Structure 1
């Protein structure tokens, strides 16, 4: 059974976005996306950060690392780019949780905060779920969302993910074990 396509060949388009693995030629757009961020808007928004260590050489190594993770079926990272001008607006990623009889993965998503309220998150995550089911062959895709991240769980609901449960003490972050809402979408 073929598990995944070569992810560096997967490119998907929506009405306004191109979703694809990062390429070494994406450096300037990627860097500008992060450097254009506003200060953090809430605790789940990393906001503006120091990008001085993110040189072009560092970025080339990052792209290579993403390809290694994809080849090993560990993780799949996709950049989100606006079609009209190539602006990098965020990222979507998948992690393989279990293959075998489960074909189970998780999804993460992030839109640069200066690009919020344009509908990019919904457009990108809806298409990313299609990529996860059709190209990465996940039957079940979960989003693990902090219980106080209302924008994220509202987005999960808008793209057709269903709330399943709250996992107590599920992920170690912010210096503690945090509870997470679990949203899922199965392939049809």
Structure 2
């Protein structure tokens, strides 16, 4: 583990650093075609694929271009998804947010709980002014989740990414700090 990796606790979750020992759990959900449908990568097939993903998490942390938390339930330590920032641009105070969750946990509000906590952390501790989300038009569930957290659709980025052998259009959503502040209850929250 890193010397300092921030742990975030919510009502039901602990968001923690993802380590090499988590490769098996990551492989379990990132090998699922439904989970990977809008991820921009082919479903994983080996523990090495999962280890490479963990190496990417470590590289963005070391480069200070992002951070990815593993999502765990408080009563167990198995990684069931991840959420975090990538493509952070320090001098413009912005970052992109990304997330995925094991299909076994879809529909329980877990992704929303993790997303809320990570957004709050980004605005509070990283001094972000803007958080962006890039979402495939066919990914209705992710768009619903992002909108629920106050993100606004800004437009369509045509043929924005080349993934899995094809060019993908992506919707650009954003949440600004002042919009986030307006949405927060003002009773002593951090």
The answer to whether TM tops 0.5 is yes
> What is the aligned partner in structure 2 of residue 187 from structure 1?
177
Distance in 1 (CA, whole Å) between partners of 2:24 and 2:99 is: 18
- 1:99 counterpart = 2:94: no
8 Å contact kept, 2:38–2:139: yes
> What is the aligned partner in structure 2 of residue 3 from structure 1?
none
> What is the aligned partner in structure 2 of residue 53 from structure 1?
48
Change beyond 3 A, Cα 1:173–1:38: closer
8 Å contact kept, 1:8–1:21: no
> What is the aligned partner in structure 2 of residue 40 from structure 1?
33
What are the ranges of 5 or more consecutive residues in structure 2 without an aligned counterpart?
179-190
TM-score, normalised by the number of residues in structure 1: 0.78
C-alpha deviations, 1:147-166, integer Å up to 9, x for none? Answer: 11101101101122111111
Distance in 2 (CA, whole Å) between partners of 1:90 and 1:169 is: 27
Distance in 2 (CA, whole Å) between partners of 1:52 and 1:179 is: 30
Match of 1:118 among 86, 95, 108: 108
Change beyond 3 A, Cα 1:54–1:86: same
Match of 1:134 among 124, 133, 147: 124
1:38 Cα deviation from its structure 2 partner: 7.9
- Secondary structure, aligned partner of 1:137: coil
8 Å contact kept, 1:47–1:113: no
1:140 Cα deviation from its structure 2 partner: 0.4
TM-score, normalised by the number of residues in structure 2: 0.78
Match of 1:167 among 148, 157, 181: 157
> What is the aligned partner in structure 2 of residue 77 from structure 1?
68
Distance in 2 (CA, whole Å) between partners of 1:51 and 1:135 is: 35
Number of aligned positions between the proteins = 175
Distance in 2 (CA, whole Å) between partners of 1:48 and 1:70 is: 24
